[in-house]
Structure 1
Amino acid sequence: MKKLSSRQLQAMETRQKIIAASYDVFLENGFQKATISQIIQKANVGYGTAYVYFKNKDDIFVEMMEKTMRKFYEVAEIPFAPRTKEEARHLIEHQVRLFLQLAIQEQRLLQLMKEAIGISDLVAKKWKAIREQFITRIAQDVAYSQANGLAKSHLQPSLVARGWFYANEMYMWELTEQEVPFSLEDAVYHLTEMYTNGIYE
């Protein structure tokens, strides 16, 4: 890789300062009440400088959201090549547990995401794109299972994947609430049972 110039390094550092400051500002004020002026002041950068990198607070938040959701996508990217239904069940259970554990770990940021999705068209559009990325990846695993005689062949992988992600997403959002009417392990068990018994032979 080409070595970055001092100017490029400084630009990266400035951008990261703005992102780091935005976490504090959004967590302290919520998405709606946070302002880009507060972020600029917290980052200690020039007003004009911030607008070189971001159009507005929504733009900054989208980058924060993408960074957080990459952790969740790493779970979706765990290699999936089961040879039996039982092996598939164990792999799926492991992924569900990791996904929901992340939801608990990232609870405060997910609460912000939920708020922002309902307010900002840009954030809502980005969330829709992130959803589709997960759904595409899940559909690949479903198609693999069908090709290897493990899953029911008459089901459409993309539709199965869509339903599966939406179910996980619902539990993910619920785990960010103050009072959760189920335990993590109960959620993992029921999601895994519904999915594996629903699509696997």
Structure 2
Amino acid sequence: MDMPSDHMTTRKLRSLQTREKLLAAGRDIFIEYGFQKTTISQIIKKANTGYGTAYVHFKGKDEILIQLMEEVMGRFYEIAELPFRPESRQEAYQMIEKQAGLFLEMANEERPMMQVIEEAIRLSEDVNRKWKEIRERFINQIAQDIAYSQKNGLARTDVDNYLVARGWFFANEMYLWEIVKNELGFTVHQIAHNLTAIYTGGLYQ
């Protein structure tokens, strides 16, 4: 009875190791060549695994990129899902500015991979679709935070929390991509401060 179980555990471990090797190789190759110029063959070769084995895990480079994108965005989710229970407008402002700063700073830290993701969103329908799903998750989290503030008398109630959340996320996303492209001469702190001042000035009157 033990042998089949042990055998399955070993096979599963080996399978997980192969998957991780493919993802690590994919990250390196994507960063080196960009999304468009990367091929699945390059990734498989760097991972030192067989084609048949590789295709058990991923159908192509798009799937590998999507998995890498989810892992990167997981770090952004941790910021978006920080507890948000302010007791005053000032506390809400401070928490929102901190979140915005952490979110944009993460774009700095993950710039090489985010550059690949930005390219892939433009070139791959599957990646673009996944990005839209990711975007909605952020927006829904923001909408919940706004609803909390509205319920507790901190934010205006004459506006729709979901629509405001979309506007706030898109503003942050715009600056995120500009940071990723290294196109701005402003610090993350300056961007976060100005964004938050305008956003909270309208919502937390």
Q: Same fold (TM over 0.5)?
A: yes
Establish whether residue 40 from structure 1 lines up as the match of residue 44 from structure 2: yes
The 1-side partners of 2:77 and 2:175 are apart by 16
SS of the residue aligned with 2:180? coil
- CA shift for structure 1 position 132: 0.2
Identity %: 52
Establish whether residue 78 from structure 1 lines up as the match of residue 82 from structure 2: yes
**Of 174-183 and 49-58, the range deviating more from structure 2:** 174-183
Establish whether residue 129 from structure 1 lines up as the match of residue 133 from structure 2: yes
Give the counterpart of 1:9 among 6, 10, 13: 13
1:31 maps to amino acid: F
Query: Which residue of structure 2 aligns with residue 105 of structure 1?
Result: 109
2:50 maps to amino acid: G
Q: Provide, for residues 23-48 of structure 1, a one-character-per-residue CA deviation record: whole Å limited to 9, x for no partner.
A: 11101111000000000000000011
Give the counterpart of 1:179 among 183, 186, 193: 183
Give the counterpart of 1:114 among 102, 118, 122: 118
5+ residue gaps, structure 1, are none
- CA shift for structure 1 position 143: 0.1
The 1-side partners of 2:183 and 2:172 are apart by 18
CA-based RMSD: 1.3
1:6 maps to amino acid: T
1:71 maps to amino acid: R
The 1-side partners of 2:182 and 2:134 are apart by 25
Q: Provide, for residues 51-79 of structure 1, a one-character-per-residue CA deviation record: whole Å limited to 9, x for no partner.
A: 00001100100000000000001000000
**Of 138-147 and 2-11, the range deviating more from structure 2:** 2-11
- CA shift for structure 1 position 176: 1.3
1:169 maps to amino acid: E
Report the TM-score when normalising by structure 2.
0.95
Report the TM-score when normalising by structure 1.
0.97
Matches within 5 A, 1:163-174: 163-174=167-178
1:157 maps to amino acid: N
- CA shift for structure 1 position 181: 3.0
- CA shift for structure 1 position 186: 1.2
- Number of aligned residue pairs: 200
Establish whether residue 23 from structure 1 lines up as the match of residue 27 from structure 2: yes
Query: Which residue of structure 2 aligns with residue 191 of structure 1?
Result: 195
